[in-house]
């Protein structure tokens, strides 16, 4: 996830289509405040942590979706918007992957670099990558196909909705949130992904001993994460006695987005919390 996604969305079939575009200035203001109007004229109940964009897939990405989209992309029943999740739906992880194995859930997988690398590095675990931008999902399909990984699945969803209802308690061994949109303006802080309510859902979805790993190149956002998680008894710093900051996670690859931030002089903070 990032403030400037690597690639925007393209028009899609219903199963992978973006939320309806805001048609005028008033609707654009609604979108900025998280009041997302859908094609049905209804509204999301809560702000979302992303802004939908239109755009195009590359020819290679289009071909990858045609060849392997059905293999990797989950068909998620929708609610009021096309990245929403029907609250009655439950994700059967064992059925989706065809086995029972430790599950890593990455929220905001971008171009899929970390998700694909994790799946390829350890075939004994399963990786579920959640992203809203189709070119990122298509690029992950392309890379997953190239690596020949079978333990990777992708979903175009608003992650908090999937966490709230679709994932079973204790389903995940790790949750990754790398470089979420910092929403730096004060009036937009409510749109930040890491909130007490989302932390509640992460704690519910993580198994005991499971780890929530985060990384950000925006120091005020690192402060925000520490504040949200400070004093919790269910999610505590992975390093006892610390404030959650840890050395760089060895399983996190250097993505195109992170490299761009490093070249711009932005320092990266890694944080990790364990479910107790």
Q: Please work out, in degrees rounded to the nearest 5, the angle formed at the alpha carbon of residue 198 by the alpha carbons of 195 and 143.
A: 110
Q: Is the dihedral of CA 110, 116, 119, 121 positive or negative?
A: negative
Q: Where are the domains of the chain?
A: 14-275
Q: Which residues fall within 8 angstroms of residue 259, CB to CB, at 6 or more apart?
A: none
pLDDT, residue 46, reads 62
pLDDT, residue 39, reads 43
Domain made up of 14-275: CATH architecture? 3-Layer(aba) Sandwich (3.40)
**Residue showing tokens 């992460």:** 202
Contact 80, 44 (CB under 8 A): yes
Alpha-helix runs per DSSP H in the chain: 25-32, 59-72, 93-97, 113-121, 134-147, 159-161, 196-205, 219-229, 256-263
- At 273, is the pLDDT very low, low, confident or very high (cuts 50, 70, 90)? very high
- At 49, is the pLDDT very low, low, confident or very high (cuts 50, 70, 90)? low
Exposed e or buried b per residue across 204-238, where buried means at least 16 C-beta atoms within 10 angstroms of its C-beta: bbbeeebbbbbbbbbeebbebbbebbeeeebbbbb
Is the pLDDT reported for residue 55 higher than 90?
A: no
Mean pLDDT of 14-28: 35
Question: How does DSSP assign 213-237, residue by residue?
Answer: EEEES-HHHHHHHHHHHTT-SSEEE
Rounded to the nearest integer, the mean pLDDT of the chain is 85
pLDDT, residue 187, reads 85
Instruction: Name the residue with higher pLDDT: 53 or 145.
Output: 145
Cα 91 vs. chain centroid, distance in angstroms?
16
Of 38, 273, 98, residue with least CA distance to 176: 273
Residue 66, token pair as written in the block:
């045609």
User: pLDDT > 70: what percent of the chain?
Assistant: 80
Is the pLDDT reported for residue 53 higher than 70?
A: no
> Which range (11-15, 120-124, 151-155, 191-195) has the least confidence?
11-15
Dump pLDDT digits (tens) for 177-214: 999 999 888 887 998 999 999 999 999 999 999 999 99
Q: Please work out, in degrees rounded to the nearest 5, the angle formed at the alpha carbon of residue 163 by the alpha carbons of 140 and 166.
A: 90
Is the pLDDT reported for residue 156 higher than 80?
A: yes
- At 56, is the pLDDT very low, low, confident or very high (cuts 50, 70, 90)? confident
Exposed e or buried b per residue across 150-173, where buried means at least 16 C-beta atoms within 10 angstroms of its C-beta: ebbbbbbbbbbbbbbbbbeeebbb
Contact 222, 216 (CB under 8 A): yes
Is the pLDDT reported for residue 43 higher than 60?
A: no
> Active-site residues: which are they?
181
Contact 65, 141 (CB under 8 A): yes
Is the pLDDT reported for residue 242 higher than 70?
A: yes
């Amino acid at each position: 996830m990032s403030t400037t996604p690597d690639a925007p969305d393209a028009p899609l079939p219903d199963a992978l289509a973006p939320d309806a575009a805001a048609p005028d200035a008033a609707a654009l203001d609604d979108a900025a405040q998280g009041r997302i109007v859908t094609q049905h004229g209804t509204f999301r109940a809560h702000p979302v942590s992303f802004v939908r964009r239109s755009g195009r897939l590359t020819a290679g990405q289009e071909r990858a979706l045609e060849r392997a989209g059905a293999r990797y992309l989950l068909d998620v029943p929708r609610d009021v918007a096309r990245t929403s999740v029907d609250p009655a739906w439950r994700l059967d992880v064992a059925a989706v992957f065809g086995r029972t194995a430790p599950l890593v859930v990455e929220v905001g997988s971008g171009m899929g670099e970390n998700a694909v690398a994790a799946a390829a590095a350890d075939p004994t675990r399963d990786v579920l990558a959640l992203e809203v931008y189709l070119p990122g999902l298509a690029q992950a399909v392309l890379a997953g196909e190239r690596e020949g990984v079978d333990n990777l699945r992708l979903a175009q969803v608003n992650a908090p909705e999937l966490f709230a209802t679709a994932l079973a308690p204790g389903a995940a061994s790790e949750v990754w949130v790398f470089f979420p949109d910092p929403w730096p303006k004060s009036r937009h802080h409510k749109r930040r992904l890491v909130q007490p309510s989302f932390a509640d859902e992460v704690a519910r979805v993580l198994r005991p001993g499971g780890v929530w790993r985060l990384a950000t190149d925006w120091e005020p956002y690192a402060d925000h994460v520490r504040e949200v998680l400070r004093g919790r008894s269910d999610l505590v710093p992975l390093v006892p006695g610390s404030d959650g900051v840890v050395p760089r996670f060895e399983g996190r690859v250097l993505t195109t987005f992170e490299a761009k931030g490093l070249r711009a002089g932005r320092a990266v903070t890694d944080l990790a919390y364990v479910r107790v």
